[in-house]
Each structure stands twice: as structure tokens, then as C-alpha cells.
Amino acid sequence: MLTDAHHRIIDYVRLSVTDRCNLRCTYCMPEHMRFVKSSALLTDAEIVTLLETLASAGISKVRITGGEPFLRPGLIPLLASIKAIAGIQQIAITTNGVLTHRYIPDLKALGITHVNLSLDTLQPQRFHQITRRDRFAAVMQTLDSLLAHQLQVKINVVVMDQVNTDELVPFAALTRELPVSVRFIEEMPFNGQGHAFSGINWNYETILDTLRERYTLHKLPDAPHSTALNYSIPGHAGNIGVIPAYSRTFCGTCNRLRISATGSVKTCLYGPDALNARDLMRSGEALLPAIQQALHHRAANGFAAERLHAGTPESMSVIGG
Ligand code: SAM
Ligand code: SF4
């Protein structure tokens, strides 16, 4: 069992399988993003070894993220290998939906039931403005197909001041007919200098207050390690959630490790890299003791972790979200 310095059990890993992306969301990266060489990425075999090692220490849930995971060649066979690892009980995936549509039957066949789709606007022109790419129709096609295949869909909406706050109610309205969970995420300072960031005007409370002006919200029970505060709206097929990602109210129950596409391990989204699993594997060193040690030095929360982390703002496409 992996535990940290503050008696939190770690049973969830978020693994980035590529740093590359086919969108350029302003809150995530600059237009001209530098990607790493392919040889720097964890290989399929290294990913499997890494996850086998983590599963032997109690990791039971894996979220595949990126960059855009569907840009990694051979993603579906890699997912099948991960699925076969003893102890891995749940695989989830976070995607921007641009290429996802054609792989949905494969996901379904693999028993991958949870897909998080990132979508920050319901307006095609605004989509172009936010992502710097004209791929709205492809993402909507993915949404339709995910629902047609009865996958559990969460739509991640990053709430950006003066960009999409007028769409909180339209997004909540989407849950009237669609059985999706729309989760409004506070913007975090990980844009790799994609745009200036000096804190947020829209936190989870502002978001909820705005939604309450239009809807009655009933609090739903949250799963034990949920980062989202979830609510139902009477008569709606789906539900909504808010994720205080910048306010960091959920650190006390954090059960996750993050591993980048190049093997950097973070014990906190806001903190520095604690070690590099790829380098340890390539030099034949043991992984688990290094990971345990990193967890023993884990900061108590995202504010403490942030104080340990100087330098230029990272891009979320490198961290994996
Ligand atoms: N490309 C995939 C996607 O967009 O779903 C997976 C990787 S992306 C880095 C993972 C999640 O992080 C997405 O839901 C995205 O909206 C979110 N994200 C990226 N940058 C963010 C930021 N600065 N603040 C809050 N969320 C962010
Ligand atoms: Fe790409 Fe996802 Fe970052 Fe947007 S949020 S640029 S889709 S990695």
C-alpha cells in the first residue's frame, strides 16, 4: 500500500501518454509549444512495467491523459495491455474529443466505461478562439457517439473570466436531456505562458452562485476522493459539478500520483517533479522505494506544494491535468 507523509492512501495514478496535442487551448499552452523527442517518452513496455509495479503496491485506478492521448500511436493496444495488469480495476481516459470518435467501439470493447471530454464552449467560433483550432464539429461528433455507446461521460469545462462564463447556464441546460456530468473547473496557472494569469475571478462559489440564480441545486453525495462537488438539478437527466482546482479545498483526501509522458512523477499537481520513473527504469534502479520516499516528502496540500515550486509556469499538457 502506498501512503504519504500525511497518512493518505495513494491508489490512483494519472498517466500522461504523450505531451503532444492537436489543440492549443490558451489556458493550457502557448501557440508554439515545444514537444519532446519521441525517444524521451515512456515506451509501451515501460508504461506497463511502471503500472505493474504501482499495481503491486495498491494502485487500482488509472486515468490516461496527455497531451491528447489519442495522438499516441498504438494507444488501443496499450490500453489492452494496461487492462490486463493484475490489480488495475478501472481505466478512465481524458480526451479533447478531436480524434476520439473512431476509437469509441474499441474503448467499449475494452470495458473502458468512463470518458472525460474537455469542452469549454458550445459555440463553434468561440471554440476556435479558445483552442486556436477549428475542430468543434469533431468534438461534438465524439460526444454524440460516446452517448450512443452508453459510456459514462463527464464534460470538463474550464471556467475563464470574460471568455465563457456566459455559458455556465447553457452547459447546465445541456444536462436536462443528456445523461452527462458537466464539471466546471476553476482555471489553474498551468498555461505554459499561453496567456497571462494572475489568479481567478470565478471560483467554485461564484460559479455555484451563478447557477443558483437559474436552477435549484441539490447536493449529491461525493465519492470518497472526489475533487468535484456534485449537484443534481430537478428534472435533469445529468448533473453538474464544480472542481475547486485553484481554491484547492480537496487536498486532504487526495489519493493520486501524476506521471508525465516522460516519466516525471509528481506527488502534487502544484509541486515540483519528485523523481523520474523512466530514468530509474532505464538505469535498472528500483522504482517503488523511490516512489515511497517521494510520498514521504509529499506536501500537505497544493499551497504548500506550490511554495516548493519556483520557475516558469508549466503547461498542463505536460502535467496531464
Ligand atoms: N488533451 C486532453 C483534454 O484536453 O481532455 C487531456 C489532457 S488535458 C491537459 C486534461 C484536462 O486538463 C482537460 O480537461 C483540460 O481542460 C484541463 N486543463 C488544462 N489546462 C488547465 C488549466 N490551466 N486550468 C484548469 N484545467 C486545465
Ligand atoms: Fe491539448 Fe488538452 Fe491542453 Fe487543450 S487542454 S491544449 S486539448 S492538452
pLDDT single digits (tens) 2-38:
999 899 999 999 999 999 999 999 999 999 999 999 9
Helix residue spans in 215-300 (DSSP H): 277-282, 288-296
Q: Is residue 207 part of a domain?
A: no
Taking CA atoms, 7 is separated from 274, 288, 300, in Å, by 18, 17, 10
Q: Is residue 275 part of a domain?
A: yes
Q: Whole-angstrom Cα distance, residue 249 to residue 238?
A: 24
Q: Whole-angstrom Cα distance, residue 303 to residue 321?
A: 17
Q: How far is CA 159 from the centre of its chain?
A: 15
Q: Which long-range contacts (CB under 8 A, 24 or more apart) does 290-296 make?
A: 291/2, 291/54, 291/57, 291/257, 291/265, 292/2, 294/265, 294/267, 295/2, 295/3, 295/4, 295/5, 295/10, 295/257, 295/267, 296/4, 296/5
Element (H, E) at 56: helix 44-56
* Residue 51 CB–ligand 1 contact under 6 Å: no
Extract the residue ranges of the chain whose pLDDT is less than 50.
none
Domain that includes residue 257, residue range: 2-154+250-319
Which of 18, 136, 156 is the best mutation target for the ligand 1 pocket, counting ligand atoms within 8 Å of the beta carbon and taking the most? 156
Q: What is the 258 CA–ligand 2 centroid distance (Å)?
A: 16
Q: Which atom of ligand 2 is nearest to the CA of 22?
A: 1
Number of domains forming the structure of the chain: 1
Q: Is residue 203 part of a domain?
A: no
| Model pLDDT, residue 131 | 98
* Residue 142 CB–ligand 1 contact under 6 Å: no
Q: Is 14 left (phi over 0), alpha (psi -120 to 50) or beta?
A: beta
- Phi, psi dihedrals of residue 230, rounded to the nearest 5°: -105, 145
Which grid cell sits at 147? 452517448
Nearest CA to ligand 2 atom 4: 25
Q: What is the 321 CA–ligand 1 centroid distance (Å)?
A: 5
pTM metric for this prediction: 0.96
Q: Is residue 238 part of a domain?
A: no
Q: Whole-angstrom Cα distance, residue 255 to residue 261?
A: 20
Q: Is residue 93 part of a domain?
A: yes
* Residue 175 CB–ligand 1 contact under 6 Å: no
For residue 18, what is the domain's CATH number?
3.20.20.70
| Model pLDDT, residue 197 | 82
Q: Is residue 110 part of a domain?
A: yes
Q: Is residue 192 part of a domain?
A: no
| Model pLDDT, residue 311 | 72
Q: Is residue 298 part of a domain?
A: yes
Cβ-contact 229, 186 below 8 angstroms? no
pLDDT single digits (tens) 77-89:
999 999 999 999 9
| Model pLDDT, residue 313 | 73
pLDDT single digits (tens) 54-104:
999 999 999 999 999 999 999 999 999 999 999 999 999 999 999 999 999
Q: How far is CA 304 from the centre of its chain?
A: 21
